[in-house]
């Protein structure tokens, strides 16, 4: 074979033409486009069918003997230009270890990531490189690989320091230059790639035109579809091809390992008959295809050719092990060749981004796992900061990923929101697969830019618009309505929406961090988010009656809305994104806003939680309970509960505090209680409302809201977790939120707030709170669940009774006006009403928890002067009497209960004795002759004694007898 003349960059063309391969192309077009020698294909088309797939048994031993001689040897001569053994020996002799390790991980193989030096969690080392690096002395994470990735040793962008192990330290000899020359000069690489892609093409029957060497024989080929179980495959095979169970098990095992297996060989009708029998009433049919033997022959050789390419590359690059299966071989070959060189990795990434939408569409339609798809290679490119920036600016990658994701979620309600309630099984399967796109988006965002260009700003803000479109489809999805009268009949779907929320949690946080790194981007993103929220709730007053609330000499216009009667949703990502951006604007002027619109929906969500805690939504079943649980759970609360609280703080800081509190009372449905003489009330809702006031004013440990650092927030979280009980390291980590790098930041601050008690013989090591940190304790810590709160009050009663409220950090300037809430007329009216209830003789319209919250709000000296001190003291005394009365009541109840039980025991004993006496009387009456004879036979003393005993029994019959 003569070498083809070409001036094209072979690997560049390879990247482009591989990813642009389309079913519309024909064999002739491929030959024309690739400008490759036709005699190579003619040689393959002639000899492959003569060597491969000549009978029912695929891959017999004679194939391994003939293929190297007639197929691989000519390609090696073509490549080396001389005797292959001589040329390859020369290449191997001059081989130098590459600066990039590139070791491909097998499934279950250990991987190591340095928690101090890795650029992101995807940067890992193989065991050999890790043991030879500086990272073994650092804090590191060891995991097991799922297969498919490779060692990042030698990649300077993957490590903040220590990018090389001892083996891969830079040297004078540059082996990558030899690899590039090797790839560029070897046209046979492109021949092999084109050939392998062609034969695996869906319409590859065109190859039959080249095959005149045999008659028309076919294979009935069974493919692995990742859907059916072993049992289903075995049962269907036995019925379809009349095989034994042992043969069916062998077929199923091979299909699971290699991806396909021939189950019949013969003419077309014979194979088609087996395919037609592939039916099942319980599941859809197996994936079966009748294939011409020539096509199967070429595909078998293509797999061998890919493996051969890997063996050739191994002469210049080490660490190559190929598993079975064509897809895996493709992946391994890409990672060990193209992705190991910076230049060609960039070219491959560009073509990957250009064809991203089509590749993802193919993957979603496919039935194989992601590890077998070319889309799984995204992590190898998108996590490289320089490549990611280039793809964002030049290929608009971020926007492409978001829009591709949204194109697959077209099931919407009339308002354009995602609707998962009536998902079919196929749609649910599709939804699970498209979640991988969120992972790709995370890879792109994982490294924040340190310098911004105008082009990067433009493309990022364009992608921010697309991201807002995604969040708008989530805003208000899965609304709930309070069930009254009858319990809900069927639990509604809620898991899918929360799955999407959890997948996007880190994405939202990372988008905010990108915005925070550039002031111009932050301001523009804030305006865009505000506009999106306005669009979502432009008609938030439509159909809702406007009303005017008046209290303590103040009035405010709002709407009539009852959470307990109207639709309300727990999903508000646009509002929460705006809340996060608002906290970042501490040093920037804020544009004109509408505070009532900002607080409306987060307030509704918090009121919903309060009403659920008050037992008002019991008939809505467990679906709502689960939503409330995850709303406060550590996995979701950062971008749900915490952001709702931040939005209320932002809105309240821009409103008259009296107006804010009146609106809050209205949404809690408590306005009529504090503005009139209504007697009926819900103490739990009042407690929740007062708790929310305390959180709005007291929760200042969010950077931007209070003058604190991130470490202060983490330190406070740890203190309050250890106030519940001493915890082990793993337990404490689970209670803290993780960032996108799976870090909690605990190690930086744990020693300052806790001491570690080493484990004993059977115990485990525990962190215990340092005594001097007890002053940071806050009974109304906003992340405490009800169980946590109860545990603290029980186990750490000294904190509750003795310690005063902690000293709080100052608000940032943007939130400084929040302190006015504690001194406004409406709050004083609320506190005065609670104190007045506490003095009433009946004492039935208040609770101890309610009074505790009032005391905390009265901690401000101004409030003490504004309220009647005698009222406060009398209420506090009343509270003490209430507690004492409760204690006495409990004691009296215990005493009465003991007396009642003693009386019941006495009556029970008397009843048993009476029953025994009755049985004795009955026995004597039935046997009075025998009884008299027995008395006569006894001696006089014993007789008189027994006679006396029985005559003492109060029975008329016995008395008459004596």
What is the spatial distance between Cα 670 and Cα 686, in angstroms, rounded to a whole number? Answer: 7
Predicted pLDDT of residue 134: 92
Residue-wise DSSP of 306-361? HHHHHHHHTTTS----PPSSHHHHHHHHHHHTGGGSHHHHHHHHHHHHHTHHHHHH
* 111 phi and psi angles, rounded to 5 deg: -130, 155
Predicted pLDDT of residue 737: 93
Predicted pLDDT of residue 189: 65
- Whether 409 and 354 have beta carbons less than 8 Å apart is answered as no
Q: 485-499: buried (b, 16+ CB within 10 Å) or exposed (e) per residue?
A: eeebeeeeebebbbe
Q: Which CATH architecture describes the domain 216-291?
A: 2-Layer Sandwich (3.30)
Listed range (628-637, 696-705, 934-943) with the worst mean pLDDT: 934-943
What digits encode the pLDDT tens for the residues 594-622? 889 999 999 999 999 999 999 999 999 99
Predicted pLDDT of residue 19: 46
Q: Is 811 helix (H, G, I), strand (E, B) or coil?
A: strand
Question: Is residue 248 predicted with pLDDT exceeding 90?
Answer: no
What is the spatial distance between Cα 584 and Cα 523, in angstroms, rounded to a whole number? Answer: 10
More confident residue, 485 or 699: 699
For the segment 438-461, the average pLDDT, to the nearest whole number, is: 93
For the segment 802-824, the average pLDDT, to the nearest whole number, is: 87
Percent of the chain with pLDDT over 90: 34
What is the spatial distance between Cα 582 and Cα 657, in angstroms, rounded to a whole number? Answer: 19
Predicted pLDDT of residue 39: 64
More confident residue, 805 or 937: 805
Q: Which long-range contacts (CB under 8 A, 24 or more apart) does 925-928 make?
A: 925/957, 925/958, 928/961
What digits encode the pLDDT tens for the residues 165-224? 988 887 644 444 344 334 434 456 666 766 776 666 655 555 554 554 456 888 888 887
Domain segments of the chain as ranges: 12-94+177-208+300-338, 216-291
Predicted pLDDT of residue 10: 39
Question: Is residue 860 predicted with pLDDT exceeding 80?
Answer: no
* 255 phi and psi angles, rounded to 5 deg: -60, -40
For the segment 825-849, the average pLDDT, to the nearest whole number, is: 81
- Whether 943 and 935 have beta carbons less than 8 Å apart is answered as yes
Listed range (198-207, 229-238, 252-261, 862-871) with the worst mean pLDDT: 862-871
- For the entire predicted model, the pTM comes to 0.74
Listed range (238-252, 383-397, 431-445, 836-850) with the worst mean pLDDT: 836-850
What digits encode the pLDDT tens for the residues 267-314? 888 888 888 877 666 567 888 888 888 888 888 888 787 777 767 766
Predicted pLDDT of residue 609: 96
Residues making up the chain, counted from first to last = 962
Predicted pLDDT of residue 634: 93
Residue-wise DSSP of 561-592? --TTTS-B-S--HHHHHHHHHHHTTTTS----
What is the spatial distance between Cα 59 and Cα 53, in angstroms, rounded to a whole number? Answer: 7
What digits encode the pLDDT tens for the residues 636-679? 999 999 999 999 999 999 999 999 999 999 999 999 888 776 55
What digits encode the pLDDT tens for the residues 10-55? 344 444 444 444 333 333 433 343 444 566 666 676 777 778 887 7
Predicted pLDDT of residue 214: 52
What digits encode the pLDDT tens for the residues 403-425? 999 999 888 888 889 988 877 77
Predicted pLDDT of residue 251: 85
More confident residue, 842 or 591: 842
When the pLDDT of each residue in the chain is averaged and rounded to a whole number, the result is: 79
């Amino acid at each position: 074979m003569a070498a083809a003349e070409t001036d094209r960059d072979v690997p560049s063309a390879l990247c482009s033409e591989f990813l642009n391969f389309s079913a519309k192309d024909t064999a002739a077009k491929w030959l024309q486009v690739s400008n490759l020698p036709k005699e190579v294909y003619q040689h393959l088309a002639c000899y492959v069918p003569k060597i491969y797939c000549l009978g029912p048994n695929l891959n017999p031993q004679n194939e391994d003997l003939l293929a190297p001689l007639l197929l691989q040897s000519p390609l090696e001569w073509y490549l080396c230009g001389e005797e292959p053994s001589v040329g390859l020996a020369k290449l191997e002799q001059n081989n130098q270890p590459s600066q990039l390790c590139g070791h491909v991980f097998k499934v279950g193989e250990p991987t190591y990531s340095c928690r101090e030096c890795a650029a992101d969690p995807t940067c890992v080392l193989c065991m050999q490189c890790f043991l030879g690096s500086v990272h073994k002395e650092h804090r590191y994470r060891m995991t097991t690989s799922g297969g498919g990735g490779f060692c990042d040793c030698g990649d300077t962008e993957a490590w903040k320091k220590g990018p090389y192990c001892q083996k891969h330290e830079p040297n004078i000899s540059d082996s990558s230059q030899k690899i590039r020359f090797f790839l560029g000069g070897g046209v046979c690489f492109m021949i092999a790639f084109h050939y392998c892609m062609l034969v695996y093409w869906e319409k590859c029957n065109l190859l039959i035109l080249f095959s005149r060497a045999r008659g028309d024989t076919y294979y009935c080929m069974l493919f692995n579809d990742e859907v059916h179980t072993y049992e289903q495959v075995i049962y269907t095979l036995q019925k379809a091809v009349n095989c034994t169970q042992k043969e069916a098990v062998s077929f199923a095992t091979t299909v699971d390992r290699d991806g396909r297996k021939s189950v019949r060989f013969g003419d077309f009708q014979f194979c088609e008959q087996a395919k037609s029998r592939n039916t099942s009433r319980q599941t859809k049919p197996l994936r079966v295809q009748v294939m011409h033997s020539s096509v199967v022959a070429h595909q078998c050789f293509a797999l061998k050719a890919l493996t051969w390419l890997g063996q050739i590359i191994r002469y210049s690059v080490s660490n190559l092990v190929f598993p079975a299966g064509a897809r895996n071989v493709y992946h391994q070959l890409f990672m060990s060749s193209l992705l190991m060189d910076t230049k060609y990795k960039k070219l491959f990434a560009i073509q990957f981004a250009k064809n991203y939408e089509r590749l993802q569409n193919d993957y979603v339609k496919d039935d194989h796992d992601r590890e077998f798809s070319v889309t799984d290679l995204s992590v190898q490119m998108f996590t490289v900061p320089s490549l990611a920036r280039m793809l964002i600016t030049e290929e608009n990658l971020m926007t492409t990923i978001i829009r591709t994701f949204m194109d697959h979620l077209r099931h919407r309600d009339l308002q354009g929101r995602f609707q998962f309630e009536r998902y079919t099984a196929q749609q649910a399967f599709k939804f699970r697969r498209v979640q991988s796109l969120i992972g790709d988006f995370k890879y792109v965002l994982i490294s924040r830019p340190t310098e911004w260009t105008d082009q990067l700003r433009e493309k990022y803000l364009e992608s921010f618009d697309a991201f807002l479109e995604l969040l708008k489809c989530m805003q208000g999805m899965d609304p709930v309505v309070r069930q009254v009268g009858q319990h809900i009949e069927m639990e509604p779907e809620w898991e899918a929406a929360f799955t999407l929320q959890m997948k996007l949690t880190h994405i939202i946080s990372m988008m905010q961090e990108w915005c925070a790194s550039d002031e111009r981007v932050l301001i523009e993103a804030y305006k865009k988010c505000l506009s999106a929220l306005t669009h979502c709730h432009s008609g938030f007053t439509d159909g809702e009656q406007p009303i005017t609330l008046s209290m303590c000499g103040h009035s405010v216009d709002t709407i009539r809305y009852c959470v307990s009667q109207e639709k309300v949703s727990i999903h508000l990502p646009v509002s929460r994104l705006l809340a996060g951006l608002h906290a970042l604007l501490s040093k920037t002027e804020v544009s004109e806003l509408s505070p009532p619109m900002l607080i409306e929906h987060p307030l509704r969500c918090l009121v919903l939680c309060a009403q659920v805690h008050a037992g008002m939504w019991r008939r809505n079943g467990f679906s709502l309970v689960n939503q409330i649980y995850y709303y406060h759970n550590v996995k979701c609360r950062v971008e749900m509960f915490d952001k709702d609280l931040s939005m209320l703080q932002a809105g309240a800081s821009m409103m008259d505090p009296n107006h804010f509190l009146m609106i809050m009372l209205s949404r809690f449905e408590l306005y009529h209680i504090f503005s009139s003489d209504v007697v009926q009330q819900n103490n739990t809702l009042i407690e929740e409302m007062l708790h929310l006031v305390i959180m709005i004013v007291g929760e200042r440990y969010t950077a931007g809201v209070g003058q604190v650092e991130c470490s202060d927030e983490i330190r406070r979280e740890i203190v309050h977790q250890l106030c519940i009980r001493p915890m082990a390291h793993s337990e404490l980590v689970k209670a803290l939120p993780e960032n996108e790098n799976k870090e909690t930041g605990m190690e930086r601050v744990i020693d300052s707030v806790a001491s570690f008690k080493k484990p004993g013989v059977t115990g485990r090591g525990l962190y215990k709170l340092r005594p001097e940190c007890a002053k940071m304790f806050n009974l109304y810590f906003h992340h405490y669940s009800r169980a946590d709160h109860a545990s603290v009050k029980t186990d750490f009663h000294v904190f509750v009774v003795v310690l005063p409220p902690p000293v709080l950090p100052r608000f940032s300037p943007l939130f400084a006006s929040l302190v006015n809430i504690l001194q406004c007329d409406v709050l004083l009216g609320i506190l005065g009403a609670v104190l007045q209830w506490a003095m009433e003789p009946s004492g039935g319209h208040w609770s101890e928890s309610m009074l505790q919250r009032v005391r905390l709000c009265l901690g401000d000296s101004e409030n003490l002067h504004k309220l009647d001190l005698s009222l406060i003291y009398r209420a506090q005394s009343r509270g003490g009497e209430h507690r004492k009365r409760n204690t006495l009541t409990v004691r009296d109840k215990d005493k009465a209960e003991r007396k009642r039980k003693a009386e019941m025991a006495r009556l029970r004993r008397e009843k048993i004795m009476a029953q025994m006496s009755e049985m004795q009387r009955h026995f004597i009456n039935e046997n009075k002759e025998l009884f008299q004879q027995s008395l006569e036979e006894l001696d006089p003393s014993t007789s008189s004694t027994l006679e006396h005993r029985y005559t003492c029994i109060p029975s008329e019959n016995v008395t008459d007898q004596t």
